[in-house]
A and B are shown apart, each in its own frame.
Chain A
Amino acid sequence: MSVLIYTDTSNGAFTKNAFEAANYGSLVAKNEGTSATAIVIGEAKDISILGTYGITKVLHFNEALLTNFDPQKVAQIIIEAAKKISATTIILAHDYSGKAVAPILAAKLDVGLVTGAVALPEGNTVKKTVFSGKAFATIEIKTPTKIITVLPNAVEKQTFSETLSTEAFSCEIPSTRLTVKEVKKASNELSLTEADIVVSAGRGLKGPENWGMIEELAKELGAATACSRPVADIGWRPHHEHVGQTGLAIRPNLYIAIGISGAIQHLAGVNGSKVIVVINTDAEAPFFKAADYGIVGDAFEVVPKLIQAVKKLKA
């Protein structure tokens, strides 16, 4: 019995979601009285940092061949690593890689999978979000081995100080018909799904030319920017900023909604945020019902003041 965690990397560095998965997996291992092993694929800087997330052992599959992500191959490596350490629980982040790999793992191993966990397992049951954040379900995994993908902020970060042992690992991987030709990333932009703070604006901003203050506020807070769906649909903002039921679902620590009414489909994608601030001229805007803090006021007056207040705080 042991716990295996897939810790994904991007450009040779662990992703924030990989750390979340490692932290979650270590807590699962602790609860089960067993140890937490991470599988690392490809080049990775500073592997020892995983010790501070409770990992005691790393299996490192370091082959250049795998700098390109192919879920079929990644799944096969995880299966072989799980066999080697007799893993009974496999943990992945519920991010783009985890969503690709976890279902393949579950089908190949013929075991139960719960995606989008928001809490540690209790026995064989795991709590996850359903109805796009409008509810939670507690799901029993009926197979002896379980696979779980974890949402950001599912559990509090614990501080561990484990010393790691790293072992080179290799296995046969299937030849596949898929190749990654190119990876395009907006280089210095903070990724929306990984940001701790998100500043988001809607149709209340009246036009794309008014986003300067939104970007400035985001910059002052070290936040990513997001928007409501109509704003992306009319082309005021790029599509990748669209959050909600039919866009990205995000779970930052702080979500600041400016000039967004708070339609049910918008809330579905953001109500996993820890703290919600709403700025809206309409005191009856539904978003206030989901908010922790609210200002009834005009964004064009409030936001510039907010920028000054944040600057003052940091000074």
Chain B
Amino acid sequence: MKIVVCISKAPDTTSKIAFKENNTQFDEAGIQFIINPYDEWYALVRALELKEANGGNVTVLNVGGAENDPIIRKALAIGADDAARIDAPTNDALFIAKQIAAYLKSNPADLVFFGKETIDYNGSQVGGMVSALLDLPYVSLASKLELNGTTAMLEREIEGGIELIETSLPFVLSAAKGMAEARIPNMRGIMAARTKPLNIVPAFEASNATEIKSFTLPPAKTGCKYVDADNVDELVNLLRNEAKAI
């Protein structure tokens, strides 16, 4: 069984977000980059668990430049067998999806995993796009996956509940909380990661469908209005008559 886990680079969750070049670019100064948490904690770890139970191979796939190699090595340290990086810019989801689909057409996989979204652009796009480009079933925001031969049972998050889904290999999913528990790489994994293959794949010809024009920060709150703990009626009054929220 061949599993491909697509991972993205993302700024650490504690990052203070700032922009440069007249608010047209994310300011990466002082930012620590990590594997996007959904890709790492849920997609990658579930893939490794399935490999441990059923045998097979887990490849991590990333689109981006050489600056992404440290997070790819971390995924290898956590336990992926090998990696491929498609050497292409990452400015548009459809462009990225076309890179991944082109790779998967020449390197077919039984399972293709994504995280449910990245914590920087919050797109929730690439997984679904890849499924469409390859005409494969897509299970978005999957919180559970069990395999029985080539049949898969999944849980998918929906408003106020879950859906139980059955499909068969090959298919594409985006992973949400519940799928697995995060793993910390151990020393052996870190050592082994250094010699695991990381193949650099040339970019596939495609154009961008979207372009980021500018960034803005949310307006700062005008300040908190404090109400005395002994005067809770006043809070209710403000919420009703000033904020019109209840």
Contacts and interface: CB of A to CB of B under 8 A. Distances in A.
A103 B94 CA distance: 9
16 contacts: A69-B163, A96-B141, A96-B158, A100-B128, A106-B209, A107-B94, A113-B209, A115-B123, A141-B210, A177-B168, A193-B160, A276-B221, A293-B226, A293-B235, A293-B239, A306-B235
A183 B209 contact: no
A181 B163 CA distance: 8
B6 to A, nearest CB: 13
Contacts of B37: 246
B232 A295 contact: yes
Interface string A288-301: 11111111111001
A177 B171 contact: yes
Given A96-B141, A177-B137, A129 B122 contact: yes
B210 A180 contact: no
B53 interface: no
A52 interface: no
B229 A302 contact: yes
The CB with the most chain B CB atoms within 10 A, among A99, A290, A298, A302, is that of A99
B15 to A, nearest CB: 8
B90 interface: no
Interface string B114-156: 0010011111111111111100011111000000000001001
B29 interface: no
Given A110-B209, A302-B232, A264 B240 contact: no
A72 interface: yes
Interface stretch (B68-76, B81-89, B188-196, B211-219): B211-219
Interface string B100-123: 000000000000000010011111
A183 B215 CA distance: 39
A245 interface: yes
Contact of A138 (B123, B132, B214, B224): B214
Nearest to A194: B159
Contacts of B93: 103, 106, 113
Contacts of A130: 120-122, 215
B161 interface: yes
Interface residues of B, number: 78
A180 B229 contact: no
Interface string A277-296: 11000000000111111111
Contacts of B132: 72, 75, 103-108
Contacts of A253: 245
B22 interface: no
A159 interface: no
Contacts of A95: 159
Contacts of A193: 159-160
A203 interface: no
B243 interface: yes
Interface string B12-55: 01110101000000000000000001100000000000000000
Interface in A164-183: 176-183
B178 interface: yes
A247 B13 CA distance: 13
B125 A290 contact: no
A30 to B, nearest CB: 24
Given A136-B218, A246-B13, A291-B221, 12 more contacts: A69-B163, A96-B158, A99-B128, A102-B125, A103-B125, A104-B129, A104-B138, A115-B122, A183-B163, A277-B235, A294-B224, A310-B236
